[in-house]
């Protein structure tokens, strides 16, 4: 049928001591080892190796992750000479989607932003970024055809223009301190598989309960305080990059899809180990406190405890390929299509291989299944595979792509969701 239609909380004291240690390490002991590691990196990078890293950086959604990577690959003396800057940037992302039930053009995460960075002392910067997304094509379609926008992690909460990122912070060569709406510490790991264009990201808990993950703190976290620390304490002969340790704090954010209810304290932690051969292993944990889990309103929607997400991920890439997987244990984090929360396990896989020149083959799957003792989940499950083709005009900043999603997912009442074909364009401005 598809092919016949249009292819169409940690305790406060413990947290305090952690922050003290972070600030000490960020400004003293860890500096020298990181500088030495950077010197080695600058010497050892081959042209092909650097090309692969540059390509994968262009696929990163989180600008701070890119800055962290650059910090480990740049000599401190060179960093001190980096000029202050302020720039306006943008990315136009348009796509056509076709399925059994609907088809048409829509926005696919278009955004416009401003980014600035100022070095107030040698090796010390302050920075800020604001980024807005827009759904102009979706609004025009709604105006003429009625209806709303489908669930989309790249989208906002029903607005033509919406806030994607808004944060300010402090940076030294091995420490970042950030406050605002920023990509979460949890996303440091789940981003490994959030690489599909126009689909994906539905099984690891990043974008939960029909949101961008801002309230719970797993996606673009709202009103978050973060520290991102890089420490080079492991023997150099092991071929390891500086160890990354990340902390995130939130408080009092709304509980998605339940009016008048708010989380208590929120905590995010993640750690990443990266080798010089571009293999990464990461673990991430996010906790959003539900103060009164006996509230009948909450329990009627499936919330019976704190929202927690634990993810383990790995990735490896080279000149012509990329492979990543993430497994997540999710409790009171995800919702069905009817808005009911459930506990479950999710698994995401993503891979890409260069066919030749600028052509890339992409593929993978998303799988999320509620536990057996979740009656409000009904028959809900996420289960789809994706096969796609990309033409990378300029790394992944300017791309033409097509994805076919073979979807075996079910709604809570047992209905199938149907296959989807997506054809799109991403064009950095």
User: Where are the chain's structural domains?
Assistant: 2-428
Mean pLDDT of 61-90: 87
In angstroms, how far is the first alpha carbon of the chain from the final one?
Answer: 39
Two tokens at 324? 């990543």
Two tokens at 265? 């304290």
- DSSP class of residue 60 equals -
Two tokens at 15? 């947290």
Alpha helices (H) in 130-204, listed in sequence order: 136-145, 187-190
Tell me how far CA of residue 369 lies from CA of 65, 257, 331, in angstroms: 30, 20, 12
Two tokens at 9? 């909380």
> Measured on CA atoms in the order 356, 73, 227, 171, is the torsion positive or negative?
negative
pLDDT number for residue 124? 94
Longest CA–CA span in the chain (Å) reads: 65
Higher pLDDT, 259 or 24: 259
Instruction: Tally the residues of the chain.
Output: 429
Which residues lie closer than 8 Å to 112 by C-beta, 6 or more apart? Answer: 88, 89, 90, 131, 132, 134, 429
Is 146 in a helix, a strand, or coil?
A: coil
What class, spelled out in words, does domain 2-428 have in CATH? mainly beta
Mean pLDDT of 229-240: 84
Residue 261 near residue 225, CB atoms below 8 Å: no
State yes or no: pLDDT of 221 exceeds 70: yes
State yes or no: pLDDT of 86 exceeds 60: yes
Of 18-27, 205-214, 310-319, give the lowest mean pLDDT range.
Answer: 18-27
Give 22-33 pLDDT, tens digit per residue.
444 444 434 444
Give 150-180 pLDDT, tens digit per residue.
445 555 545 688 999 999 999 998 999 999 9
């Amino acid at each position: 049928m598809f092919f016949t239609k249009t292819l169409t909380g940690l305790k406060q004291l413990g947290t305090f001591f952690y922050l003290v240690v972070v600030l000490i390490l960020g400004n003293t002991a860890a500096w020298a080892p990181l500088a030495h590691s950077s010197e080695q990196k600058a010497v050892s990078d081959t042209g092909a190796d650097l090309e692969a890293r540059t390509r994968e950086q262009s696929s990163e959604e989180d600008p701070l992750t890119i800055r962290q990577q650059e910090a480990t690959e740049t000599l401190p003396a060179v960093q001190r000479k980096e000029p202050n800057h302020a720039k306006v940037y943008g990315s136009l992302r348009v796509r056509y989607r076709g399925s059994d039930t609907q088809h048409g053009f829509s926005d696919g995460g278009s955004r416009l932003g401003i980014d600035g960075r100022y070095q107030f002392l040698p090796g010390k910067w302050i920075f800020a970024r604001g980024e807005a997304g827009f759904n102009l094509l979706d609004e025009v379609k709604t105006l003429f055809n009625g209806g709303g926008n489908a669930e989309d992690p790249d989208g906002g909460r029903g607005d033509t223009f919406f806030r994607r990122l808004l944060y300010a912070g402090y940076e030294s060569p091995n420490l970042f301190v950030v406050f605002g709406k920023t990509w979460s510490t949890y996303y440091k790991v789940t981003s490994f598989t959030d690489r599909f264009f126009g689909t994906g990201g539905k099984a690891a808990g990043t974008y939960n309960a029909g949101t961008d993950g801002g309230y719970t703190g797993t996606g673009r976290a709202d009103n978050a305080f973060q520290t991102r620390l890089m420490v080079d304490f492991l023997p150099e002969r092991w071929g390891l990059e500086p160890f990354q340790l990340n902390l995130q704090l939130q408080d009092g954010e709304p509980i998605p899809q339940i009016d008048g209810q708010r989380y208590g304290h929120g905590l995010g932690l993640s750690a990443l180990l990266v080798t010089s051969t571009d293999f990464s292993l990461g673990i991430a944990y996010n906790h959003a406190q539900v103060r009164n889990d006996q509230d009948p309103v909450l329990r009627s929607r499936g919330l019976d405890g704190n929202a927690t997400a634990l993810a383990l991920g790995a990735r490896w890439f080279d000149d012509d390929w990329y492979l990543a997987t993430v497994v997540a244990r999710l409790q009171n984090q995800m919702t069905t299509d009817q808005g009911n929360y459930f506990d479950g396990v999710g698994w995401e896989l993503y891979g890409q291989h260069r066919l030749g020149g600028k052509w890339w083959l992409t593929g993978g799957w998303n799988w999320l299944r509620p536990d057996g003792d979740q009656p409000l989940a009904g028959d809900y499950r996420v289960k789809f595979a994706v096969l796609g083709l990309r033409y990378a005009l300029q790394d992944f900043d300017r791309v033409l792509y097509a994805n076919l999603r073979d979807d075996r997912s079910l709604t809570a009442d047992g209905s199938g969701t149907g296959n989807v074909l997506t054809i799109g364009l991403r064009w950095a401005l």
